[in-house]
Amino acid sequence: MTERIEVDQLGVARASDDCRTAGTDAGTHLARLLAGLTKGAIEAAAGRDDYGRQITDGWANSQAETFPDFAKGIEEQLIGRGDQMSSCGENARATDDAAAQQVRATDLGLTQTSQGWATLPPDQAV
């Protein structure tokens, strides 16, 4: 008899959605956070006099222009993980459904053959 697996489909769906939401939030906030921290660190290190402002004005040398791309990469990774979890959940559900069908067929004394369904021999029936 085929063993059935149990999958928490709602749990998988919630985890997938949470991952996608986290990805979107990361993309929205991370670049701004990194830019603010970097500018703040440069200002603190340089001081707030004219020389410090010149350094701060040139803070793009810190590669801050890459922060949005970095944040977008994290967003895409998290959203991709959410999509993978959804796919795994769907595969598990399909496997569970197939196992359930096999269990029902076995309970009815049927087996699947290349030509369709056949009755199990009496010594193999449940």
Name the residue among 81, 78, 100 with its Cα closest to residue 89: 81
Q: What distance in Å separates the CA atoms of residue 9 and residue 19, rounded to the nearest whole number?
A: 15
CA–CA distance, 13 with 125 (Å, rounded to integer): 38
In-domain check, residue 59: yes
Name residue 112's beta-bridge partners.
117
Is 34 inside a domain boundary? yes
37-74 tens-digit pLDDT: 777 776 676 666 666 566 656 555 666 667 777 778 88
Q: How many domains are contained in the chain?
A: 1
Q: Is residue 103 part of a domain?
A: no
Give the burial class of 71: count Cβ atoms within 10 A of its Cβ; 0-12 exposed, 13-18 middle, 19 or more buried: buried
pLDDT score for 3: 56
Report whether pLDDT(2) > 60.
Answer: no
> Is residue 52 a part of any domain in this protein?
yes
Domain membership flag for residue 2: no
Is 55 within the bounds of a domain? yes
**Alpha carbon distance 63, 39 (integer Å):** 11
Does residue 42 form part of some domain? yes
Express as a percent the part of the chain with pLDDT over 70: 62
Confidence of residue 1 (pLDDT cuts 50, 70, 90): very low
Question: Does residue 124 fall inside a structural domain?
Answer: no
Range of the domain at 55: 9-93
